[in-house]
Amino acid sequence: MGIKSQILLADTTLRDGEQAPGVVLSSKQKAQLAKLLARCGIKEIEAGTPSIGQVELEAFDKILSLGLKVRIVAWGRMTNDDLKAVKASKVSTVNLSIPLSDIQIFTKLKTEKKQVLEKIKEYVSKAKEMGLEVAVGGEDASRANKYFLIEAIEMAKQFGAFRFRYADTVGILDPLRTYKTLSWLKKWTSLPLEFHGHDDFGMATANSIAAWQAGVDSISATLCGFGERAGNGALEEIAFFLTLREKVDTGIDLKALFSLCPIVARYFKRKIPPWKSIIGEDIFLHEAGIHVDGILKNPINYEPFNPSIIGRKHRFALGKHSGRKSVIWTYEKLGIKLSEQKALEILNKIKQFTVDKKRIPSKVELLEFVSDQSPCISQTTP
């Protein structure tokens, strides 16, 4: 038990990610994303739900025909129809899910805990008899009684499951509770654990990190955090943090993963907010004068990681919060060298402009601020 120097980051963009409202991926798109995920170093892809029907089976067929050196996983419920569909998909691995919280057992399944344990026994056994590798997914595990969780995990282990997924299905956890619960579970079972978080309270990524700290063996997440409701843990956030901050061997090519996010967003017909961590357009854009001054002295002052890792550079915006050095640096990039006095004059113009217009000035507008050809400025070669 304890913090691991290696971890499996499993992608579920093609399954749980596609469950984002209104998102439908074609079989061609699914196959393309699977290929690109494999190139990033992802070793496990939960590719969909075969019981959806023929369109999903066609997607599995396209993905499997690529011959990727990746574990392709199908998701299903513990029912005969779902198992039959999983077998038709021709995958070798299935994640069989079942609710484990009292509220879902009693109101969704309308059954008792004893029957849930019997289902785990029955359907793990059936899947194994079909020649499938079986992982058991504990739906709503974060609201389940922890002692019942142990019973369910041990039942899954006894009948041949190779892993148990602890799912924070409605995103109610916080990092401390995640750490405490999963650390406790690790003491009670030797079955490998996977964490799967949802972002309803904005904590899915943080909870995923806490799960790693508790010693889980894998984390299930989606690119860009896409998924139902508020989405899932963001795969790129988890991968970047573990790799760059914790020096964990994830086996993932960060630049390739970063480059894949806009493709996923396009397929999902979703816009990436400019402020979005890791993949947002503005994450290395600075306006505040104190930040720009610090960056110019040493970028590490205000950069959490080197932007070159994702093929970017830091940028400065001139606005209400800017300082003289920002102005001088920006105009030098435009081929204009300013005196300290002129820089201060232009800074005052810029601040007034942003107050009046409620936006930063464009390149053309910046040039207009010096169009009087004042003797305080001189032209330089860009």
Radius of gyration of the chain (CA): 26
What confidence tens digit (pLDDT) does each residue in 262-295 have? 999 999 999 999 999 999 999 988 878 888 888 8
Residue listed under structure tokens 């949802």: 198
Q: Write down all domains in the chain, each with its CATH number in brackets.
A: 8-268 (3.20.20.70), 285-379 (no CATH)
b/e burial code for range 40-74 (CB count within 10 A of at least 16 → b):
bbbbbbbbbbbbeeeebbbbbebbbeeebebbbbb
What is the band of 377 on the pLDDT scale with cuts at 50, 70, 90? very low
Question: Among 75, 165, 78, which Cα is nearest to 121's?
Answer: 78
Q: What percent of the chain has pLDDT over 90?
A: 76
Mean pLDDT of 193-203: 98
pTM for the structure as a whole: 0.90
Weakest mean pLDDT among 142-146, 169-173, 187-191, 348-352:
348-352
Residue 42, token pair as written in the block: 């992802």
pLDDT tens digits, one per residue of 224-236 = 999 999 999 999 9
Residue 374 confidence (pLDDT): 40
